[in-house]
Amino acid sequence: MAGFLDGDGSIYVRMKPNPTYKFGFQFAPSIILFQSSKERKKFRELCSLIGVGYIRERNDGILEYTINRKDAILTFLKFVKPYAILKRRQILLMEKILGKKESVKNKKDFYQLALLVDAFRDLNYSKKRKKHKLTP
């Protein structure tokens, strides 16, 4: 599973503007595994071993298995972390972010958390990723 994540997976956290949240942003952590829909049966079998996410098919023929609940993400990472190579830094950063998120009490704490989220920018390639302008 760690090899699949390393090769055909993604770990990231997005900050989505949402005025209903205390500091105006919602943190959305995700782990996604990708596979061609040509391998649908095998991919579903693999994902059933994990059992904590959901599968969707994109318009371009790619299947995505998404894990986005905090407890499910932490459980999955616990099992793959010892064996992950390419995504090791993302795993460590995700664990740090999810741990810190619980201790956000004020704007300064929130800003520190946002800086950690922005650190994914340096670890993951993304054409669309936006860096949010926040002040402490």
Residue 136 lies in a domain: no
Q: Do 107 and 136 form a contact (C-beta atoms < 8 A)? A: yes
105-115 pLDDT, tens digit each = 999 999 999 99
Instruction: For residues 69 and 53, give the distance between their C-alpha atoms in angstroms, rounded to a whole number.
Output: 8
CATH number of residue 80's parent domain: 3.10.28.10
Residue 134 lies in a domain: no
Residue 128 lies in a domain: no
Query: pTM for this structure?
Result: 0.85
Residue 114 lies in a domain: yes
* Residues annotated as part of the active site: 7-8
Backbone phi, then psi, for 6, in 5-degree steps?
-60, -45
Instruction: For residues 66 and 73, give the distance between their C-alpha atoms in angstroms, rounded to a whole number.
Output: 10
Number of domains, the chain: 1
User: How long, in residues, is the chain?
Assistant: 136
Question: Residue 96 is encoded by which pair of tokens?
Answer: 């740090």
Q: Do 67 and 55 form a contact (C-beta atoms < 8 A)? A: no
Residue 72 lies in a domain: yes
Mean pLDDT over 19-35 rounds to: 93
81-135 pLDDT, tens digit each = 999 999 999 999 999 999 998 889 999 999 999 999 988 877 876 555 555 555 5
Domain residues for 42? 2-123
Residue 19 lies in a domain: yes
Question: Residue 59 is encoded by which pair of tokens?
Answer: 């318009």
